[in-house]
Amino acid sequence: MNARVDWLAAPARQPLRGTLTAPGDKSISHRAIMLAALADGPSRISGFLDGEDTRATVRIFGQMGVRIDAPAAAERVVHGVGLRGLRAPQAALDCGNSGTAMRLLTGLLAGQAFDSALVGDASLARRPMRRVAEPLLRMGASVDTAGGVPPVQIRGGRALRGIEFASPVASAQVKSAVLLAGLYAAGTTSVSEPRPTRDYTERMLAARGWPVAFSAGRASLEGGHALRAVDVAVPADFSSAAFFIVAATLVPGSDLLLRNVGVNPRRTGLLRVLRAMGADIAAVDPRRSSGERVAGLRVRHAPLHGIDVPGENVADMIDEFPALFVAAAAAAGTTTIRGAAELRVKESDRIAVMAAGLRTLGVTVNETPDGARIEGGTLQGGAVDSNGDHRCAMAFAVAGAVALAPVRIGDCAHVATSFPGFIERARACGLDVRVA
């Protein structure tokens, strides 16, 4: 990873105005590379997120013999080798900071004829992998972890069988890993979830001609088919847009248009929660692109009030909670978050990191094992630590825009994993964020 980088976020001197396009959706970009590599023939991906996480996925498939061209920063042309065409890598496959890459690849590699190993950086080495390994073992795979965390050793040449898996956690990554293994399994592989999660994998498989049945909280497919090559237009990442949605809501006088945002209902719980808090967010030109719902989002300043976050929205906004913490800190009244224990095993313990930072800025935050109680009010300036978590760093940058004094944010280099160019885009629309 790059050397340590700190930021300084100053109070906004002007409203956020104009238009902004967030980078391509990271979840879709990862999956687009993976499925295109397994397809028969070339696929063009436009709107690709050219970030460190997705570059890791590109490098990994290059190690397995897949040619991937980059005619432009946000484009990739993947020359698919078919379901059985991957070649054995000569070294460990480095996922960097990407939990999505490691978990999905564990499922995909479980069905290969060759052995492989997945490694990552110090942060990824703490992420739970047993939740993926256990269903794969039930399918007949050979997957070993280091006490439930990376590195992951996968022995190939195993005959996989379909299973009926009731996931104990609501995780699109776990679901996707099992479904990707199911491509190579005999019989039917089915996954049910305690709460519905994002359905990108299911939609993208269907778009490539693989028969898959899915509804909210359940997905099922049979092995033995083929994936056809298709071109993909990746929408702007809602998780990246979320920071500007919250900033424009909080900074007085703001009127900001976010273009071409992916608004899959399994991804946009934050919109529902912010609107319940009083936000003024309108969808502009809603449409479908490459099978996904896309719209512009016009965000105008509005005063917020605290709420009890409905539990049914938690899985649909798990990556957006750092931004919500800041919205709650600036809202009138109390916001209560429950059912979000998954936040403690992301790139950092996001509940602890956001709570500690907001307390430093003068906000009353009471942590619980699965959430927090946040007393809204006035944010002061101060020095906070993102703990190397890209989403926490960007959330604290938004906090700086509405604080009474500048906020210094420590350890921000990992923002490049999901949002390269964040500072430039933030400054272009009116936020005062810079390298400290």
pLDDT of residue 286: 96
| Half-sphere exposure for 106 (CA within 13 Å, toward CB) | 36
Contact of 124 with 99, CB cutoff 8 Å: yes
Show the 3-state SS of the chain: CCCCCCEEEECCCCCCEEEECCCECHHHHHHHHHHHHHCEEEEEEECCCCCHHHHHHHHHHHHCCCEEEEEECCEEEEEEECCCCCCCCCCCEECCCCHHHHHHHHHHHHCCCCCEEEECCCCHHHCCCHHHHHHHHHCCCEEEEECCEEEEEEECCCCCECCEEECCCCCHHHHHHHHHHHCCCECEEEEECCCCCCCHHHHHHHHCCCCEEEECCEEEEECCCCCECCCEECCECHHHHHHHHHHHHHCCCCEEEEEEEECCCCCCHHHHHHHHCCCEEEEEEEEEECCEEEEEEEEECCCCECCECCHHHCHHHHHHHHHHHHHHHHCECEEEECCCHHHHHCCCCHHHHHHHHHHHCCCEEEEECCEEEEECCCCCCEEEECCCCHHHHHHHHHHHHHCCCCEEEECCHHHHHCCCCHHHHHHHHCCEEEEC
pLDDT value of residue 1: 46
Residue 19, beta-bridge partner list: 257
Spatial distance between the Cα atoms of 70 and 35, rounded to a whole number of angstroms: 17
d(CA 296, CA 15) in angstroms, rounded, equals 19
* pLDDT of the residue at 2: 59
Q: How many CA atoms lie within 13 A of 264 on its CB side?
A: 28
Q: What is the pLDDT of residues 190-203, one digit of tens each?
A: 999 999 999 999 99
Residues of the chain below pLDDT 50: 1
- C-alpha to C-alpha distance for 240 and 40, rounded to whole angstroms: 32
* Ordered domains of the chain (ranges, CATH): 7-24+235-435 (3.65.10.10), 26-233 (3.65.10.10)
**Is 319 labeled as catalytic in the residue annotation?**
yes
Which residue type is seen at 44? R
For 159, other C-beta atoms within 10 Å of its C-beta total: 11
Instruction: Tell me which of 53, 94, 319, 389 is the catalytic residue.
Output: 319
